[in-house]
Amino acid sequence: MNKVDTKLNDELRSEYDLKSLRVRRFGPKRKAFGDVVRLEPDVAEAFPNANAVNEALRLLIEIAKRSERPTKPEVD
């Protein structure tokens, strides 16, 4: 019977801090890593990446805020 070599060949760089890594769990109790929004294909074609989507949405929010006009009280 051959002996199994239990020595690990560690090729990780010394700058990696393994203690700070989080373990990803599988199944229903796994931690969510952020909200995911799925874009329809035609909308996704207009944006090259997530930053472009966020920038466009922030602009839209700003436009919506500016267009909200306070209503004048009715005079009887």
**Is pTM beyond 0.95 here?**
no
- CA-to-CA distance for 51 and 57, rounded, in angstroms? 10
- CB-side exposure of 36: number of CA atoms within 13 Å? 3
- Sorted by where each begins, the domain ranges of the chain are 37-69
Q: Note the pLDDT of residue 46.
A: 95
- Give the pLDDT confidence score for residue 6 in this predicted structure: 62
Number of residues that make up the chain: 76
**H-helix or E-strand containing 64?**
helix 50-67
Q: pLDDT (tens digit, 9 = 90+) per residue, 8-63?
A: 677 777 777 767 776 666 666 666 666 778 899 999 999 999 899 999 999 999 99
71 pLDDT more than 80: no
